[in-house]
């Protein structure tokens, strides 16, 4: 659950929240942390990278993607949450709010 603590950035702004969330949920960052741990023979860094990778993979399976700066509900996989919460009430065929 530690990667989810990165959502605290949303208390400051959507932009800071998206950056901090994405930093801890980006799979390439997780692989780089694990590889760094392997190169430095640090089991703690290896474990941290694997936990980050597993956590972000589970989030992707659940439909939660990397966040966009429009707000927490907007991800690279589409909008999450209830369609009626759409800011403009405009929905496309798949029920997701129109981002453009």
Q: What is the pLDDT of residue 49?
A: 94
Q: What is the pLDDT of residue 43?
A: 95
Pairing state of beta strands 67-68 and 71-75? antiparallel
Which helix or strand (DSSP H or E) is residue 79 part of?
Answer: strand 78-79
Q: What is the pLDDT of residue 83?
A: 65
Per-residue pLDDT tens listing for the chain (100 residues): 677 787 888 889 889 988 988 888 899 999 999 999 999 999 999 999 999 999 999 988 888 888 888 877 777 877 877 765 555 555 554 545 555 4
Distance CA 71, CA 31 (A): 26
* Segments making up each domain of the chain, as ranges: 2-85
Instruction: Judge if pTM exceeds 0.75.
Output: no
| DSSP secondary structure code for residue 75 in this structure | E
């Amino acid at each position: 659950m530690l990667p989810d603590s990165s959502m605290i950035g949303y208390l400051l702004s959507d932009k800071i929240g998206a950056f901090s969330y994405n930093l801890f949920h980006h799979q390439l960052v997780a692989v780089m942390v694990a590889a760094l741990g392997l190169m430095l023979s640090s089991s703690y860094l290896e474990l941290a990278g694997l936990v980050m990778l597993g956590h972000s993979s589970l989030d992707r399976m659940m439909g939660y993607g990397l966040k966009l700066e429009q707000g927490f509900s907007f991800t690279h996989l589409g909008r999450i949450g209830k369609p009626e919460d759409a800011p403009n009430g405009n929905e496309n065929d798949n029920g997701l709010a129109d981002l453009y």
